[in-house]
Amino acid sequence: MLLPAKSKTDIVVSVIMKFPPREFSDCYVGVMPDNDPRLSENNTLVTNRNCLYEKAVSADVAQELKKKFIDLGMQGTLNEGSGNSTVVYVYKTNPTAKP
């Protein structure tokens, strides 16, 4: 899957529109290279409506966004990813609705 690079602001808006801040504690954020096999169009994670993948303009921006979302309450690992990890991904860890 070829993702267009987005600005930091555009990625933040996309994440907040899909996962409201009150749900951040139920989300996991990470980064991966844009050639990662998990981004294959045949992969069920890519078509899962509880997942979001956005390509940042650089690996530094992707790491910065990941840290920001972890600081805001999302789950994640700060030392994950390589120097070419430009794709930020977020998914719900518990996609079932809470009463």
pLDDT per residue over 45-92, tens digit each?
555 668 898 999 999 999 999 999 999 999 999 877 678 899 999 998
Candidates 77, 76, 92, 81; CA nearest to 56 is 81
Residue 55 forms part of a structural domain? yes
Average pLDDT over residues 3-23: 93
Average pLDDT over residues 25-43: 77
Decide if pLDDT at 99 tops 50. no
Domain of 17 in residue numbering reads as 5-92
Count structural domains, the chain.
Answer: 1
Residue 17 forms part of a structural domain? yes
Residue 59 forms part of a structural domain? yes
Q: What is the mean pLDDT of the chain?
A: 84
Residue 97 forms part of a structural domain? no
Q: Would you give the distance in Å from CA 54 to the centre of its chain?
A: 6
- Note the pLDDT of residue 46: 52
